Amino acid sequence: MKNELDEYRVAAGSHVDLHKWPTRVKPQYRDDDDARLQLAEQVERTSELQDRLYASNSWSLLLIFQALDAAGKDGAIKHVMSGVNPVGCQVASFKQPTAEELDHDFLWRTTRHLPERGRIGIFNRSYYEEVLVVRVHPELLLGQGLPPALRDGNQVWAQRYRSITDFEAHLGRNGTRVVKFFLHVSKEEQRQRFLDRIDHPEKNWKFALGDVAERAHWNAYRDAYEHCLSATSSEEAPWYVVPADDKKTARLIISQVINETLSALNLQYPRLDKARREELQASRRLLEP
């Protein structure tokens, strides 16, 4: 049966043309108050499902967020995960690789931050930077210490896509469900958000000159994302292209996807055997006045 969230999901094996994917859709809310109420309900549901995830201690969930600058990744994570118990959730943000990280394979630095069983892990950027930023700026490959034969531009991206899909399939076979979000923002909306960061002193800290420089590579990033989404979306680890020009709608879509994913795991609280139930009753009698 078709799910309304399927329109945002990249079908495995499909070719992605981002010109055909909207950056803005009809709002999923009537007004700001309705948006807050809907998100609060979704967040409460996430909290309930996370409690079951933690108690069952079998599955884990990895959420990956990728986007161009100012698309709203940080805000989405903050709002959508606002009701989650910090004990069962961990966030890792990945910036420019360190010298130590460059001396390992490109999956190494993120593998160390995978969520444990029963927990939700969030990657704010991820190993996908290695087929996005590095593809747009291939000179970065020179600093990764790869043998020259492995830096062949005709093969390196296909090989990395295969490494990623194999890795995510491995995670799925071992109880980690992977869901990936690309926050799809328009060039004009990004421009307006950059101006907003410049014009409001409390937001100045968010702005960097490098952000504007990267806008010159807009088409190259679009091309890199199209190749990446096409090559690495699978049934086990799907990509969702989330229209991000409207932050409130984007957050509602992301929250719905998370809850649908957790619900599909059919999480249950552990059932106690007879001996354990008898122990609990014995403890209760000791606590009674």
Cα separation values, 133 from 130, 165, 187, Å:
6, 18, 17
**Structural domains in the chain?**
4-287 (3.40.50.300)
- In the numeric block, the tokens 């290695």 are attached to 130
In whole angstroms, give the CA distance from residue 189 to residue 172.
36
Helix, strand or coil for residue 152?
coil
Cα separation values, 219 from 49, 66, 139, Å:
39, 16, 18
Q: What are the residue ranges in the chain where pLDDT is below 70?
A: 1-2
Amino acid residing at 166: D
Give per-residue burial for 190-207: e unless 16+ CB within 10 Å, then b: beebbeebeeeeeeeebb
Crossing angle between the packed helical segments 32-56 and 73-80, to the nearest 10 degrees: 70
Is the pTM higher than 0.85?
yes
The end-to-end CA distance of the chain, in Å, is 56
The set of residues, in sequence order, having a beta carbon less than 8 Å from that of 131 and lying 6+ positions away, is: 157, 160, 161, 164, 224, 227, 228
In whole angstroms, give the CA distance from residue 81 to residue 44.
10
Give per-residue burial for 90-128: e unless 16+ CB within 10 Å, then b: ebbebeebeeebbeeebbebbeebbbeebbbbbbbbbbb
Q: What is the pLDDT of residue 2?
A: 52
Q: What is the pLDDT of residue 1?
A: 43
Q: What is the pLDDT of residue 279?
A: 86
Q: What is the pLDDT of residue 137?
A: 94
In whole angstroms, give the CA distance from residue 101 to residue 107.
9
Q: What is the pLDDT of residue 153?
A: 73
What are the structure tokens assigned to 43, written together? Answer: 């967040």
Q: What is the pLDDT of residues 88-100, one digit of tens each?
A: 999 999 998 999 9
Angle, CA of 209, 215 and 221, to the nearest 5°:
130
